[in-house]
Amino acid sequence: MAVIAQILFIILTAAALFLFGKNLLSIRRNILIGKASFVNDQKAIRWKNVFLLALGQKKMFRKPLVAILHIIVYVGFIIINIELLEIIADGVLGTHRIFESIFEKYGWSNFYDFIINSFEILAALVLIACIVFFARRNMLALKRFMSNDLVGWPRSDANYILFTEIILMGLFLLMNAADTPSNFIISSTIRPLFNEMNSNALFIIEHTAWWLHIIGIYIFMNYLPYSKHLHIILAFPNTYYAPLTPKGMMHNMPEVQNEVLYAMQPELAPSDAAAPASFGAKDVMDLSSKNLMDAYSCTECGRCTEACPANMTGKLLSPRKIMMATRDRLEEVGKNIATHKSFVPDNKSLLHDYISVEELRACTTCNACVEECPVSISPLDIIIELRRSLVMEESNAPQEWNSMFSNIENNFAPWKFAPDDRDAWTKQA
């Protein structure tokens, strides 16, 4: 029976790891659909950002209470899962608490108790924090959690993760409580509930909790690629590759800059200059790989939308929805490529079908969404690229913009004054 359990565990573990790896490779492939854009300069600053923003969650501490609860869930869940090493070793070898026996052999049994006690305290804190977050998300009805862009699956997704974490932490404590009486600080308070049970019943409870705990972790792991909680993994590379340019700096298109230069100095224009294939971005493959990693890294927390002045005044724009729509379209394009080996046009595009003109025009390019994002995502970059396509590929711009463009082209300024007349106001009496 023990051998059969070992074989089943090995098969389960191999299948879980295979599926997880396959899904991560699919996500990597989808991200690389975009134009190459990852910059790896100034490594010291980039690693500093990783430790401060992704690991230290610096921006979260603008709301200290929420930040403390979030870091408890994040760090606690990661540390507790170190226990997976022992669970996997026990499952493969058919042992029971193999690390405990190893530590006892070298006289470190107290250290093992210290580790498990630390895990139990963290598990209890994670349980409490998840319950608070569940109540906060579903009972307090905070505006950014109740907005229309979270209707349906996105709202359920967050609850599924919280519920799963509560179950996993509960199973961990139950498993310890049903095990041989010990000095474990939290589970020992639950142990009296089992005082009337015989050893066989306790064995069944402990082993059932053990199996459900590891199966739950494998399910959680393979759910991540389909969930907004993929940011648990992608927050680190996304923060590392975030632009280090000054805040609010927009990247001009060299092709446009050259056109202006050649118009002013025709003698500099090369005779064989080729026109650019396109301006801006109409679909996800026109965006940069960093933009697409941003889409997968989005936590859907809504801080960007909450800070957006256009959204505050009732405009249609929601930076969070921009990221969610980009991810949805990218997933659709990825499935298209997986099915046909290369992208087959489907008469859809990110622009128009997923993100509307009204949303794009509402953006003031104030950079508030970028400043608020805890994991260095830039909805603004995507908005700018889509607007470039609208204006330069489709000539789709409001009349006010077209007048300004015409004035800049003819008068080198947004105003309808010839350059020679620009200082005429100074000569008026």
Q: Is 291 part of a structural domain of the chain?
A: yes
Of residues 97, 98, 93, the one with CA closest to residue 179? 97
Domain span at residue 187? 2-28+63-240
- Are 15 and 145 found together in one domain? yes
Instruction: Assess if residue 83 is contained within a domain.
Output: yes
Residues 333 and 366 in one domain: yes
pLDDT in tens, the chain (429 residues): 678 889 999 999 999 999 999 999 999 999 999 998 888 899 999 999 999 988 888 888 888 888 888 888 888 877 877 888 888 998 998 888 888 888 888 888 788 888 888 888 999 999 999 999 988 888 887 778 878 888 888 888 888 999 999 999 999 999 988 886 667 888 888 888 888 888 889 889 999 999 999 999 999 999 999 998 898 899 999 999 999 988 878 888 887 788 778 777 877 777 776 667 778 899 999 999 999 999 999 999 889 999 999 999 999 999 999 999 999 999 999 999 999 999 999 999 999 999 999 999 999 999 999 999 999 999 999 999 999 999 988 989 888 888 888 888 788 788 887 877 777 777 775
Instruction: Give yes or no for a contact between 321 and 362, defined as CB atoms under 8 angstroms apart.
Output: no
Question: Using an 8 Å Cβ cutoff, are 53 and 59 in contact?
Answer: yes
β partners of residue 351 = 355
Structure tokens belonging to residue 325? 């729509």
CATH of the domain at 354: 1.10.1060
Give the distance, in angstroms, between the CA of residue 227 and the centroid of all CA atoms in the same chain: 9
CA 51 to chain CA mean position, Å: 16
- Give, for 19, the enclosing helix (H) or strand (E): helix 2-31
How many domains is the chain built from? Answer: 2
Q: Report pTM.
A: 0.86
Do 176 and 231 belong together in one domain?
yes
User: Are 67 and 183 found together in one domain?
Assistant: yes
Asked whether residue 424 is assigned to any structural domain, the reply reads no
Is the same domain home to 45 and 135? no
Contact at 8 Å (CB) between 177 and 208?
A: no
Residue 419, domain member (yes or no): no
- CB of 161 closer than 8 Å to CB of 229: yes
Handedness of CA 199, 205, 208, 211 (dihedral sign): negative
Tokens of 407: 């004035």
Q: Are residues 46 and 96 in the same domain?
A: no
Same domain flag for 130 and 190: yes
The Cα 184–Cα 250 span in angstroms is 56
Task: Look at residue 370 and tell me if it is in a domain.
Answer: yes
User: 120 with 231, same domain?
Assistant: yes
Q: How far apart are CA 386 and CA 394, in angstroms?
A: 11
